[in-house]
Structure 1
Amino acid sequence: MGRYVIGDVHGCAKALRSLHMALKLGSNDEVVFLGDYVDRGPNSKDVIEQLINLSQCCRVIALRGNHEVMLQAVVTHGSDDSIWMRSGGKATVVSYGGSITKIPSAHLEFFHGLRRCHETEQEIFVHAMYDPQQSIAAQSDELTYWTHLPHPLPVAHTSGKRVYVGHTPQPRGEVLWRAHLVGVDTYCFGGGYLSAVDLETGVVTQSDRHGHIRRVPIERAWHALARWKGWLRGK
């Protein structure tokens, strides 16, 4: 069984398709997606279609990002679309044929079913940020969806679990590795990569927006994983 976490897709359909093929995902595998599937990149519609299809061949845990929050506010609740359009929503509307009324019902159901967060015995997954002292389910919407990672970075969560986040683009296209925190938004739409982190080994598989695959040298991944396991033993 493979377990992976994938960062912000932002309409980069070729990158997502290449990652799926490179990871050879099957029925025994699990993938956590950290949100922001739509906007900015060229084909949000295809990204959502891929995610729906992917859920038929492996276990998909899809979180909601702030860009899905904006889309749902406009499409479901009739909110003003000006902020969404300025934030990349225009590319999403174009991918759906120029009108939000053309978004298929299956895609609307997908957006409705997105999760706020996900937690396991060792890990926390959330789109944007967290309060180290609060349970992850009790966090505010501002932290969950909108707040970028600060400098300095937040300290370890009180649970002792490692936190995986997206939302804050890593300009060099490299995963942000810390003992207690991993940032998986590697800026695919802006010239970086879409990243998949193997949750068991720490190995990173990446695709650029054109679908070209690269793998982070395994020595770097193992070094980061070793630091994390050493930190856990010290808890």
Structure 2
Amino acid sequence: MKTVVVGDIHGGFKALKQLLETTNLPKDTKYIFVGDYVDGWSESAEVVSYLIDFSEINDCIFLRGNHDELLYKYLKFGESNPMWLSQGGKSSIKSYAKLSKSEKEKNVKFFENLENYYIDSENRLFLHAGFTNQHGPQHEYYPNLVYWDRTLWEMVCAMDAAISEEDDKYPKRLKLFKEIYIGHTPVTRVGFEKPANFANVWNVDTGAAFKGKISMLAVDSKEIWQSEPVHLLYPNEKGRN
């Protein structure tokens, strides 16, 4: 079985569909989505509805992103705040206004069933953002850190590549897992256009919310597939720019 990880989508339905429908992966492929399906481009509701249908014929694991939680709180409880609205929330509200009540309820269930993290049989961790607890994400005092934390990515970006795991200064967090796969912080901020790797952490957020692409990475072979830059598919929109 091939396992692939799909990076942040942010309402870029056209790019997501392009990516998934042109790669021709084997039918038994496992798809792990790292979250942030919504907030950014104009088709957040279309993304989630498509993924619900996609999961009916494919083996999928959907992880929870911070934007997914923010939209869920709006849809379920009417919660919103100015920061979320300015960071893509308005586009999601507009997109979801087009759905019927039953369609919206189906999408709400999708958000409720998202997982905070996933650990596979080879001790590889998949989550949206990161974790701070030295015993792993399952021990976080505040569970929502796993879809908000940026310190894990910042740490590995700043690490001395020559430091050994045997060194006392080597981060204990990294020793817990064979590999760690995240999204949340675009690798474009540190000069990459494709999924980037530091230490044993792979970041598959390639800036789809801005002027980057949606990326998919094969866990074993590290083969990479990408959509077109998402903003080119929405020429009359600004996304989160």
Measured against the shorter chain, the TM-score band is 0.7 to 0.9
Task: Report what 2:85 is aligned to.
Answer: 85
Moved more, 99-108 or 41-50: 99-108
Task: Report what 2:61 is aligned to.
Answer: 61
Aligned counterparts of 1:68 and 1:83: Cα–Cα separation in 2: 14
**Are 1:183 and 2:203 an aligned pair?**
yes
Q: TM-score, normalised by structure 1?
A: 0.81
Give the letter for the 1:31 counterpart.
Y
> Which of the numbers 149, 163, 167 marks the counterpart of 2:180?
163
Task: Report what 1:45 is aligned to.
Answer: 45
Cα drift, residue 18 of structure 1: 1.1
Task: Report what 1:147 is aligned to.
Answer: 149
Aligned counterparts of 2:29 and 2:105: Cα–Cα separation in 1: 27
Task: Report what 2:9 is aligned to.
Answer: 9
Task: Report what 1:215 is aligned to.
Answer: none
Cα drift, residue 83 of structure 1: 2.9
Task: Report what 1:111 is aligned to.
Answer: 111
Moved more, 171-180 or 13-22: 171-180
Contact 1:195-1:207 within 8 A present in 2 as well: yes
The 5 A counterparts of 1:11-30 are: 11-25=11-25, 27-30=27-30
Number of aligned positions between the proteins = 211
Aligned counterparts of 2:215 and 2:133: Cα–Cα separation in 1: 25
> Identity rate of aligned residues, in percent?
29
Task: Report what 2:215 is aligned to.
Answer: 195
User: CA separation of 1:61/1:99 partners in 2, compared to 1, >3 Å: closer, same or farther?
Assistant: closer
User: CA separation of 1:83/1:55 partners in 2, compared to 1, >3 Å: closer, same or farther?
Assistant: same
SS where residue 39 of structure 1 aligns?
coil
Q: TM-score, normalised by structure 2?
A: 0.79
Give the letter for the 1:199 counterpart.
V
Aligned counterparts of 1:77 and 1:97: Cα–Cα separation in 2: 15
Give the letter for the 2:132 counterpart.
D
Give the letter for the 1:169 counterpart.
P
Cα drift, residue 145 of structure 1: 1.4
Give the letter for the 1:204 counterpart.
I
Aligned counterparts of 2:22 and 2:123: Cα–Cα separation in 1: 26
Cα drift, residue 147 of structure 1: 2.1
